[in-house]
A = this chain, B = another copy of it.
Amino acid sequence: MGKKAVCLISGGMDSAVSAAIAREEGNEIYAITFDYGQRNKREVESAKEIAKWLNAKHKIIKVDLRQIGGSALTDNIEVPEEAHGIPATYVPARNTIFLSFALAYAEVVDADYIFIGVNAVDYSGYPDCRPQYIKAFRNLANLATKRSVEGRPIEIKTPLLYLTKAEIVKKGYELGVPFEKTWSCYREREKHCGRCPSCKLRKKAFKEAGIEDPTEYEN
């Protein structure tokens, strides 16, 4: 049996590929997904399907970020079609909150790793996806837990940090990630809208990777 890895699975493509890499490296996967009051419920359903595909233990953590507010992903703010600067879909301190829970869970199950699918290349301008942010969280994780005091800190792994979205698609394709089960669209509907910033990135990634896009888009 390999080491244990807590993998954050959102239901999107990146976290699915990141977790598939964790599994390929021989780790036992403890997937976690946050039901944080996101307007789009499809994400959590997609996460369940990905966790099943990974044969992972899967924990869905309820943390209602609507108590905090401040984002188009949780509040009744319209998701814009074009994003400039830090977009309205930014959720204040979301990755910090999610990584904190991952850290706690990794300590409880005695995992050596946390895998998160953050990406600094084709990212959406979120401050908590930048390499310097990850470095700072890594430093924090080295000090925050009982395990760290015992000289066994929990390592934060970000295998997608410097990949382009097209490279992520290629890597996932090699590992057999069922992309048709992943969900990227910011809007809550049957099919991907094809027009929001997240759908546009998804389409572009498959096109640039030269891999057939299995996604059904409205447009």
Contact = CB atoms under 8 A, between A and B. Distances in A.
Interface of A: 59, 61-65, 67-70, 86, 90-97, 99-101, 103-105, 107-108, 127-128, 130, 132-133, 136-137, 139-140, 142-146, 148-149
- Secondary structure at the A interface, as helix, strand, loop or mixed, is helix
Nearest to A128: B144
Contacts of A133: 140, 143-144
Contacts of A65: 104
Most chain B CB within a 10 A radius of its CB, from A103, A140, A145: A140
A51 B25 CA distance: 50
**Within the oligomer, what is the number of copies of this chain?**
2
A67 B62 CA distance: 8
Nearest to A150: B86
Contacts of A86: 146, 149
Contacts of A100: 93, 96-97, 99-100
Given A92-B104, A96-B103, A139-B140, 17 more contacts: A62-B64, A92-B103, A92-B145, A92-B146, A93-B144, A95-B144, A96-B140, A127-B144, A127-B145, A127-B149, A128-B145, A136-B136, A136-B139, A136-B140, A136-B144, A139-B139, A140-B140
Nearest to A131: B143
A95 B145 CA distance: 10
Given A62-B67, A92-B145, A136-B143, A104 B97 contact: yes
